[in-house]
Structure 1
Amino acid sequence: MEGGPDSVCVLGIDLGTTSVKAALVVGTEQGQVVAESCSRETQAYTSSVEAGLQGMEQDSRRIIRALNECLAALPQQQLQRVSHIGITGQMHGIVFWKRDQDFLKSYDAAGTIHDYVVAMLCDLKKPLMSVQNAASWGYFNSRNKSWNTDILKKSGFPVHLLPEVGDPGSIAGRTISAWHGIPKGTKVGIALGDFQCSVYSCLTERTDAVLNISTSAQLTISMPSGFQPPETPDPSSAVTYFPYFDGDYLAVAASLNGGNVLATFVNMVARWTEELGFQIQESAIYAKIIKAALDQNDSHLSVHPTIFGERHTPEQLASVTSIAASELSLGHVTRAVCRGLVENLCSMLPVQRLLETGVRRVLGSGSALARNEVLRQEVERIFPFPVVYGKDVDAAVGAAMVMFQGK
C-alpha cells in the first residue's frame, strides 16, 4: 500500500443498483492513490406484488449486508486509519424508515439508500440530502436549494418526509460508534449522486469532456462557473443539467443506447445463425464482427441505432439508410453501428457546443469503449480533440476524492 503512516486514508462507498463497492483511497504528495477496493453483488431485487408497486423494488437489508461484506474484506489495519467516509449511490431510488426502529407500518423519514446509510452512521435526527440527490428526485429548485413544497402540498404529498438539503462535499456528521475498525467519530460526508462522483473520479480539468460508453452512453461537460440552468427544464431537450460541486453544473447527454445496442446486434446475429442450423457462442461472434469491421476501414451505410429510444424522443426508434449492395458485409454493418452510436451522442451534445464551451480533450471510459477498437476509431474520427483512454469512471473512488477536497 502506498503512502506513509501519516498519510490520510479515506473510504469511498458506492451503493449501486446491482452491486456495492468500497474503496480505500490514500492521499500522498502526488495526489490520491487507490490502495484497496472490494465489490459485492447485492442480489437485492425483490417482488413488488405485495406492495402493489409498478416500479422496481429492492431489499435494503441485502444492500447493507453486501456493504458489510465489502468492508469485512478490506484490511482492518487500513480501516483503522480512515479519517473520512464518502458515500454515493443510486440517485433515483427512495427508502422509507422510522428513526427508532427498522420496520414499522408508518415512517417519519425518507431518502436514497445512501442517505439512509449516512443517517444510520451518524444517528441523524432528520435525514440530510445533497443538492445532487434532491435534484434527481424532482420537484426541487437547485438554484435556491429548496423543495417545491407548494406544488407538492396541493397534490397531497407528505412533505414532512422530505429531507433537509445541504451542499455536496459538506460533512453530514460523525460516526456514533466504531464500524469494521473505522474509529468512532470519523467524519461522514453528505451522500452524493453516483453520476457526479463517477465524473469527479476522472474529470481533472474544466476543459475536459467525459465520454462513457458502457451499457448506455453519456457525454458530459462542465459548464462555465456561474452558469444557471433554465428555471423550467425542457423535456424535449437532449441535454440535462446536473448539480455538480461548488455551485457548478454538468451538461449531460445521457443516451439509452450504448453497449446494449452492440449486445443486441450480436444476439441478433447469433439467433440468425441458429435459425440456419448453426450455433456459435456470442463471445465468438463479437470477436469476429469486430475483426471484420477493423478490416473494413469505412462504410457509407448509415445506422441510427436508437433501438431503445431516447428520453427526449422515446417514440424515435432505429433506422438504416444509404443501403447499397456493396456495403452489406458484417464489417460494413458493424462499423456503421459503432459510428452511429457516437454520432447519436454528438447529435445530442454537438461538437460545436463543446468547442464553444472550451473543451480541449475527451476522456474515454466504459467497458464497451475499452473492448471495442472499432468504437474507439469512430470516436477519434468524429471528435476534433485528442482522446485519452484509461481514466475509467469509478463512483466509489470519486466519493472518496470529494472528501479529500472537503477536508
Structure 2
Amino acid sequence: MSDFILGLDVGTTSVKAVLLETGCRAVAASQALPTVSDLPDHSGIKAKEQDTGRIIDTLNRCIGLLPGDKLQRVRCVGLTGQMHGILLWRPESGCDWSNRDFFTAKHTSQLITWQDGRCSSDFLSSLPKPDSHLSVSTGFGSATIFWYMKNKPEFLEDFTVAGTIQDYVVSMLCGLDGCVMTPQNAASWGFFNTSSNQWNENILKGAGFPLHLLPQCVPSGSLAGRTRSQWHGIPAGTPVGAALGDFQCSVYSCMSARTDAVLNISTSAQLTFAMPADFNPPDSPQPVSSISYFPYFDSMYLAVAASLNGGNVLATFVEMLTSWMRELGAELSDSCLYEKLIHCALNQQTSDLRVSPTILGERHNPLCLGHVTNISTSNLSLGHVIRALCRGVLDNITSMMPVGCLQQAGVSRIVGSGSALARNEVLRQEVEKAFPLQVVYGQNADSAVGVAMVLCDRL
C-alpha cells in the first residue's frame, strides 16, 4: 500500500494541498481553495494585510477535502508559501487545538504580506545597510519590524515570535516554542547573509532591532519537528519539514536538469536557471541589476530575472478594452474578449508595432514605464496590437536576462510554465521566437508539488 507526502502551499490568494505518492512521485490527489483573506486598508499607509484566521480556516478546509484513507498514510508534511511577509505570535497561545483534529489561529497578528507598501523609499534609505547581496524592500519582514519600531513600538510588545505564514503553520503543527526558518525565507526577509547563513545580528542590534524576533535558521530541506497532534487523520508524530520559499519550490517541481531554464509567465514573469555549485553571490546589494540570486538547495543559487510585468499586462489591456466598450454601450465578458483577441493575433503572425509593456515598472528600474512606438496606419488592428504586446512581454524578460547569458551558463532547454503561457498560444509562439533553444511545456511549476518532491527526495 502506497505512502504519501502532503505538500501545502499557503499562497497570496489561495491554499493548495497535494498528496504525492512516494514510490512513483505522482500526484494522487489535490485540492485548492481561495483564502478571501485580504483586509481593507483604512490606514492610509498602503498597508496590505490578510486575516490569519481565514487563511488557517481555508487550510483546514482544503486538507479536509483530500481522501481520508490517504491522509492516514502521510509520511511527511511539507510547507511552502508566500515569501517576504511577516506574522507575529506568542507560541503558548498561537493556536487552539481544542477541536482536536485541526487547529485554529489564536492570539496572532494579521499577516502583513509581501505586497505591503508602508515602507517608503525615504524610510528604507534610513535603514542600516545590510550585510547581504540582496536589497531590502517594502513588504520584507525585517523592514516591517523596523517600521513598527518607529511608528507603533507598542504593537511589537504583544508578541515574542515572528515568521512567514508558512513558518507559523509549521510551528503550530509541531508545537514549537520558537520559529525555525530556512535560508530561502530568511533571505526574503532581508538582513540575512546567505553565504554564512546568519542574520546580520550586529548591524540589527546597533539599530535597536528586537533580536528575539529573529527565527532560528535551519537548512532548506531539513525537518522542523513532528506533528504534536493528529491532524485530519495524519498521525501524531509525523515529520514536518521546515517551510520553504514558494518560488524555489515551483522551480524544483519542473526543473529536471541542470541545463534547464524555467520561464514562468503567470500574473508576473520569471526566468531562472541554477548557478554552478561553486558560485558565490556579490558581497553587497546590486539594486540596479535586473538579475538577483536566490538561495536554492544544497548551498546552490538560482539566477533570477523577476519581472513585475507578465500576464497582468494582458489582463490590464483586456480590462481597458472592456471598460471602453462599456462606456460605448457594448457588453462583453473579459474571458470572451480575451479569446477573441487571441484569435485576432493568431491571424497576424508578425507586426512591426513595438510595445514596451512595463506599465508596473521593474524593481531594478521602477521609473521605466510602458510605451508604444513605430505606430503607423497599417499596424493598428487588434491582431497587430496583441501580437506586439505578447512579444513585448518576452522582449522585456529577455532584456533582463539575455539569451547569451543563458547560453553562457550552459542552458540548453527552456521549460515554459504558468497560467498565461498555458492559456495563450500567441505568447507561446513568441517564446519560441525569442529563444533559439528547445522549448518544452507541460511541466507546470507548482509550489505544493515542489515542496512534496523536495521531502520525497530527502526521506
State whether TM-score is above 0.5.
Answer: yes
Which position in structure 1 is the counterpart of 2:52? 60
Structure 2 runs not aligned, ≥5 long: 95-106, 109-156
1:274 alignment partner AA: R
**1:165 and 2:217 aligned:** yes
Aligned to 2:193: 141
Distance 1:257 1:231 in 2: 28
| Alignment-derived partner of residue 259 in structure 1 | 311
Name the residue aligned to 1:112.
Answer: 164
Distance in 2, Cα, partners of 1:375 & 1:400: 30
**TM-score w.r.t. structure 1 length?**
0.95
Distance 1:204 1:309 in 2: 32
State the Cα RMSD in Å: 1.4
Asked whether the 8 Å contact 2:275–2:301 carries over to 1, the reply is yes
| Cα offset, 1:49, TM superposition | 4.4
Is structure 2 residue 89 aligned with structure 1 residue 97? yes
Partners of 1:174 and 1:232 lie apart in 2 by 37
Which of 271, 296, 307 aligns to 2:323? It is 271
Deviations 1:33-71 (A, max 9, x none): 000111121121224547x86421112111111111111
Residue aligning to 1:181: 233
Identity score, percent? 57
Structure 2 distance, partners of 1:80, 1:287, is 43
Q: How many Å apart are 1:265 and its aligned residue?
A: 1.2
CA distance in 2, matches of 1:342, 1:155: 42
1:42 has 2:94 as partner: no
Mapped partners of 1:238, 1:338: distance in 2: 20
Quote the Cα distance in structure 2 between the aligned partners of 1:263 and 1:54.
Answer: 23
Q: Find the partner of 1:21 among 12, 16, 25.
A: 16
Residue 350 in structure 1 maps to residue 342 in structure 2:
no
Instruction: Name stretches of at least 5 consecutive residues in structure 1 with no aligned partner.
Output: none
Deviation of 1:279 (Å)? 2.7
Q: Secondary structure at the match of 2:455?
A: helix
The answer to whether the aligner puts 1:311 opposite 2:371 as a matched pair is: no
1:347 Cα deviation after fit? 0.2
> Which residue is 2:74 aligned to?
82
Q: Tell me the amino acid that sits aligned with residue 206 of structure 1.
A: R
Structure 1 residue 98: Cα displacement? 0.7
Q: Helix, strand or coil: the match of 1:273?
A: helix
Residue 359 of structure 1 is matched in structure 2 by 411
AA in 2 matched with 1:250: L
Letter in 2 for 1:286: Y
Question: Which amino acid is the alignment partner of residue 3 of structure 2?
Answer: V
TM score, norm. by length of structure 2: 0.84
Corresponding residue of 1:32: 25
CA contact (8 A) 2:204 2:211 kept: yes
State the Cα deviation string for residues 166-213 of structure 1 (Å, max 9, x = none). Answer: 111001111112111111111110100011111111111111111111
In 1: Cα distance, 2:34 partner to 2:325 partner? 33
1:155 Cα deviation from its structure 2 partner: 2.0
Deviation of 1:290 (Å):
1.2
Indicate whether 1:222 and 2:246 are aligned.
no
Correspondence 1:230-241 to 2 at 5 A: 230-241=282-293
- For 1:290 and 1:68, the matched residues in 2 are separated by 39
Instruction: Return the offset for 1:122.
Output: 1.1
Q: What is the CA distance between 1:26 and its match in structure 2?
A: 0.2
Q: CA 1:298–1:47 in structure 2 vs 1: closer, same or farther (change >3 Å)? A: closer
Letter matched to residue 79 of structure 2:
I
